[in-house]
Structure 1
Amino acid sequence: MRTYQLYLIDDEFASHYFGKERMVYQLFKDYQEAFGEYKKLLEKQIHYILKPIQELKVHQFVTQYLQNSHDFYTNNGTYYIEIGKRSTAKLEVHERYLVLKANGNYEAETIFFEVLRKTETSFIAIDLDHQRCGWLKPIKERKFV
């Protein structure tokens, strides 16, 4: 099973850390492993770079884009995509983060990622178990002439 935590990073920090995703990953990994005063300090840093998730907006987008799919259903505010037995994904929406759990091939989780990247520009997905992270919608670098 793959488990992703999705965070909405403040636009200023997102543009600054584009290409430096490992630093963001390391911050969340350190937070997970920390305790005591150090954990409190890391929590403050994380809260400083995050934007609150507009839960209603996420719910509207997910429902709007997926309601006609026969592979999609919802139960108590949690969203599911089950493409036979080959790919399943579950999306939970929280105030400061989203959790996406997936099994099988990547088809179901990709559908959720595609919808979420349309809601906001600076979502980052972090998979601490498999040491991976990345932007859902990569930020284009500005070229100055």
Structure 2
Amino acid sequence: MYQYSLYFFKPTYAIHFYYKVDVLYRFLDQYRKGKYTDDTTQRQVSFVLEYVILNDVYEHLTSQKFSHKLDVKAENNELIIKSDSLDMKAVRNGYAIDVYANSLIDADQLFFQYIKEFHPYVFVVNFDSRECGWILPLAKKANYHI
């Protein structure tokens, strides 16, 4: 089972750090490892990241009409999501939502594609494989100017 950690960035910081994926990875890795324990750094984390309530995600998933049926259950501060033969779990972990799925494709089919509609600036990290990136590219963002 793979673990993907989702972080919900505030718009100002998402735009500023959009092309600085390596900086975000290092920052989130240090935060995850508990190396940021002083008050100043904790305030910085709260300035940059939005604290998403898992129940709000549950409400979003259960109130929408999607292309295929999702079976979503909230149990003990975690979400269990199933559809056909696929299943995954989402758990609150500080400012992150940790997603456990059998593959990236399963996580995308059951969760990532729907979370895009819930929040526009979601950064996902697999710390085991050191892979990371934005789930949804910024809209109306030019890659270059002539």
The two structures have a TM-score, normalised by structure 1, of 0.77
Pairing of 1:40-119 with structure 2 (within 5 A): 40=38, 41-65=40-64, 69=69, 72-76=71-75, 77-81=78-82, 83-84=84-85, 87-93=86-92, 96-103=95-102, 105-111=103-109, 112-119=111-118
- Bigger shift: residues 118-127 or 24-33: 24-33
* 3-state SS of 1:43 partner: helix
Unaligned runs of 5+ in 2: none
What's the % identity of the aligned pairs? 17
| Residue identity opposite 1:125 in structure 2 | V
- In structure 1, list runs of 5 or more residues that go unmatched: none
Pairwise CA RMSD: 2.8
- The one-letter code sitting in structure 2 at the alignment partner of 1:74 is K
Name the counterpart of 1:24. Answer: 24
Number of residue-to-residue matches in the alignment: 139
* 1:138/1:34 CA distance change after superposition, 3 Å: same
The answer to which of 3-12 and 72-81 deviates more is 72-81
What residue number does 1:136 align with?
135
User: Aligned partner of 1:39: which letter?
Assistant: T
TM-score normalised by length of structure 2: 0.76
2:130 partner amino acid? Q
Deviation at 1:82, TM superposition (A): 5.4
